[in-house]
Amino acid sequence: MELIRVINVEKQYKNGVTALYNLNLSIKKGEFVFVIGASGSGKSTLIKMMYREEKPTKGQMIIGGIDVARLRNGKVYKLRRKLGVVFQDYKLLPKLNVYENVAFALEVIGMSKDEIRKRVVKVLKLVGLKEKIKSYPDQLSGGEQQRVAIARAIVNDPKLLICDEPTGNLDPVTSLEIMSVLDNINRKLGTTIVMATHDRDIVNKMKKRVLLLDSGQLVKDYMEGTYSYEIA
């Protein structure tokens, strides 16, 4: 079953730079997909369009039945409730502890305290942080902070998890631990994951589907791929 469909998408910025040209691709529900490419390849633009930070100039980007290109600004929340986003820099609230950081995502949509507690404990256990529930961000390592960010992104049970360079600030060992967490989420929850990365070791080790962008175009699509050295 198709979760993401990109049809003839182009993106031109106001400064005249065209970041994506006539992009077409399909991602099925439950897939784990890496998006790779050199700086300026269009990788970041594609990822940002998936969570509607950017809009296509032309074409359609359909995510979970919603056409992002036609979505009004006032309706973006409807899309974002269907997905979770994990960034390179964690974006945790420093004055809230681990539990509160994760629970916050559910409090803003008015969920009951009992349901919040149930969900938060479940996802913290899944990411291996149940014992750190009362810790604050400055008491955690970078890897632990990223696990909190992942827990927060999946606590609302999204169908899609978008990861934008989630291991960019982490050492190689911690990066692999984070990838193990993401792989677990993909396998156990069936969550579709789309991850932009520059990390060759991770891509080569995981053997997932790989989309290679170059100069705004999709140039390779490997079903069980490795990091392509000749262009990236």
pLDDT at position 231 is: 44
When pLDDT is averaged across residues 9-32 and rounded to a whole number, the result is: 95
Backbone angles phi, psi at 7, to 5 degrees: -125, 110
| CA atoms within 13 Å, Cβ hemisphere of 1 | 10
Q: Report which secondary-structure segment, H or E, holds 203.
A: helix 200-206
Q: 3-class DSSP state for residue 33?
A: strand
pLDDT at position 229 is: 52
pLDDT at position 232 is: 40
- Cα–Cα distance, 46 to 5 (Å, whole number): 12
pLDDT at position 156 is: 93
Give the pLDDT band of residue 113 (cuts 50, 70, 90). very high
- Cα–Cα distance, 73 to 58 (Å, whole number): 17
Residue 123 has pLDDT above 80, yes or no: yes
pLDDT at position 11 is: 96
128 occurs within a structural domain: yes
109 occurs within a structural domain: yes
Is residue 71 packed enough to be buried (19+ CB in 10 Å), middle (13-18) or exposed (0-12)?
middle
Residue 196 has pLDDT above 80, yes or no: yes
153 occurs within a structural domain: yes
Per the model's pLDDT, the better-predicted residue between 72 and 135 turns out to be 135
pLDDT at position 226 is: 77
When pLDDT is averaged across residues 132-147 and rounded to a whole number, the result is: 97
Share of the chain above pLDDT 90, in %: 84
60 occurs within a structural domain: no
Residue 77 has pLDDT above 90, yes or no: no
Task: Locate all alpha helices (DSSP H) within 43-195, ordered by sequence.
Answer: 43-50, 76-80, 98-107, 113-126, 142-154, 172-189
Q: 3-class DSSP state for residue 28?
A: strand
Domain count, the chain: 1
- Cα–Cα distance, 193 to 159 (Å, whole number): 9
When pLDDT is averaged across residues 125-139 and rounded to a whole number, the result is: 96
52 occurs within a structural domain: no
Domain that holds residue 130: 92-157
143 occurs within a structural domain: yes
- Cα–Cα distance, 128 to 10 (Å, whole number): 40
What are the tens digits of pLDDT across the range 35-51?
999 888 999 999 999 99
Give the pLDDT band of residue 228 (cuts 50, 70, 90). low
Average model confidence (pLDDT) across the chain = 93
Give the pLDDT band of residue 7 (cuts 50, 70, 90). very high
Cα dihedral 55, 56, 57, 62 in deg (nearest 10): -120
75 occurs within a structural domain: no
172 occurs within a structural domain: no
Model pTM?
A: 0.94
